[in-house]
Amino acid sequence: MIRIKCPYCGERDHSEFTYGGDASIRYPALDASREDWTQAIFFRENIRGFQKETWHHLNGCRMWLEIERSTVTHEIKSVKPCHPDLQKIMDSKK
């Protein structure tokens, strides 16, 4: 079991979460070229090692998280909310 430290709920089993995917993907502008859209939607770096990825705390606070995790050892380096404003709100309440 991977243990994920949710910034809101604390450390939980990964079975409470669903895996989103590569967090480095940035969609291009709506009028960008077909090549750019094809790259963004279909092509992946598929990193062997630490990658940034999204997880959804579906059976918890439902926050989307950006996690730095090794795809080889499953070790987690960092966890933060995907939305920067959520981090600010949580910091202000500490």
Partner 1 sequence: MTRFNAWNVFKNGLNGQKGWSRQWRDPEPRSNYDVIIVGGGLHGLATAYYLAKNHNLNNIAVLEKGWIGGGNAGRNTTIVRSNYMMPGNHQFYEHSLKLWENLSHDLNYNVMFSQRVHVSLFHSPGAKDSYARRYNIMRLNGTDGELWDLKKLKKKIPILNYNNARFPIMGAAVQPRAGNARHDSAVWGYARSANALGVDIIQNCEVTGITRQNGNIDSLQTSKGSIKGKKIGFAVAGNTSRLWQMAQLGNLPIESHKLQAFVTEAIKPFLDHVVVYGVGGAHFYISQTDKGSLVFGGDLDWYKSYAQRGNLPIVQDVAEAAMAILPSIGRLRLLRHWAGIMDMSMDGTFFICKTPISNLYLNAGWNYGGFKASPASGWYFADLIANEQPHKYIQHHHLERFEQGINLDERGAGPDPKLHG
What's the DSSP call for residue 16?
G
Per DSSP, the three-state class of 93 is helix
Binding residue (CB under 8 A) for partner 1 from 42, 91, 92, 93:
42
Say if CB 12 and CB 4 are below 8 A apart: yes
Backbone angles phi, psi at 79, to 5 degrees: -135, 130
Binding residue (CB under 8 A) for partner 1 from 14, 52, 56, 80:
14
16-24, 57-65, 82-90 -> range binding partner 1 (CB under 8 A): 16-24
Does position 15 interact with partner 1 (CB under 8 A)? The reply is: yes
* Region class of 57: left (phi > 0), else alpha (psi between -120 and 50), else beta: beta
Instruction: Kindly list the residues in this chain that would bind partner 1 in the complex (CB under 8 A).
Output: 1-2, 13-15, 18-19, 21-22, 34-35, 38-39, 41-46, 48, 51, 53, 55, 71-74
